[in-house]
Amino acid sequence: MHWQPAKFYTQNANGITCTLCPFACRFAEGDTGHCHVRRRRGHLLETATMATSVRHLHAIERKPFYHFMPGLQVLTLAAPGCTFRCSYCQNYRLSQFGRDQAAAMAAAIATPIDPAELVVEAQSMAAGIAFSYSEPVLASELTMTIAPLAKAAGVPIIWKSNGFITPQAAAELAAYIDAVNIDIKTADDDDHRRLTGAPLQPIWDAIAVWARAGVWIEISTPLIPDFNTSPASIRTLAQAVAAIDNRRGHTPWHLLRFHPDYRYTDAPPTHPQTLRTACDIAEHEGLAYVYVERALDDRGRNTYCHHCHSEIMTRDIWALGQQRIEDGHCPSCRTPIPGHWRRQRIEP
For 159-206, write each residue's pLDDT tens digit.
999 999 999 999 999 999 999 999 999 999 999 999 999 999 999 999
C-alpha angle 302-251-194 in degrees, rounded to nearest 5 = 105
Q: How confident is the model at residue 107 (pLDDT cuts 50, 70, 90)?
A: low
- Give the pLDDT confidence of 35-73 residue by residue, as tens digits: 999 999 999 999 999 999 999 999 999 999 999 999 999
Determine the length of the chain: 348
The reported pLDDT for the residue numbered 317 is: 85
* Domain chopping of the chain, boundaries: 4-47, 51-319
Does the domain made of 51-319 have the CATH classification 3.20.20.70?
yes
Of 74-83, 293-302, 336-345, the one with minimum mean pLDDT is: 336-345
Please enumerate in sequence order all residues whose Cβ is within 8 A of that of 273, keeping only pairs 6 or more positions apart, or say none.
Answer: none
What pLDDT, on the 0 to 100 scale, is given for residue 264? 86
Task: Give the helix/strand (H/E) hosting 320.
Answer: strand 320-323
Q: What is the pLDDT of residues 246-301, one digit of tens each?
A: 878 999 999 999 988 888 888 899 999 999 999 999 999 999 999 998 888 888 99
Q: Are 89 and 95 in contact (CB under 8 A)?
A: yes
In this model, does residue 233 exceed pLDDT 70? yes
- pTM metric for this prediction: 0.95
| Dihedral angle of Cα 40, 42, 47, 48, to the nearest 10 degrees | -100
CA–CA distances in Å: residue 263 to residues 85, 207, 228, 236, 259: 10, 29, 18, 27, 12
Provide the percentage of residues in the chain whose pLDDT is more than 90.
83
pLDDT of residue 246: 81
Q: Which residues of 108-127 are buried (b: 16+ CB within 10 A; e: fewer)?
A: eebeebebeebbebbbeeeb
Per-residue pLDDT, 46: 96
> H/E element holding 202?
helix 201-213
- Close Cβ partners of 33 (under 8 Å, ≥ 6 residues apart): 18, 23, 25, 27, 39
**Measured on CA atoms in the order 317, 319, 321, 322, is the torsion positive or negative?**
positive
Cis peptide before 167 (omega within 30 of 0): no
pLDDT digits (tens, 9 = 90+) for 290-337: 999 888 888 899 999 999 999 999 999 888 999 999 999 999 999 999
125-153 pLDDT, tens digit each = 999 999 999 999 999 999 999 999 999 99
Cα separation of 235 and 283, whole Å? 10
Confidence band of 21 (pLDDT split at 50, 70, 90):
very high
Give the per-residue pLDDT at 348. Answer: 28
Q: Which residues of 171-204 are buried (b: 16+ CB within 10 A; e: fewer)?
A: ebbbebbbbbbbbbbbbbeebbeebbebebebbb
3-state secondary structure of 222: strand
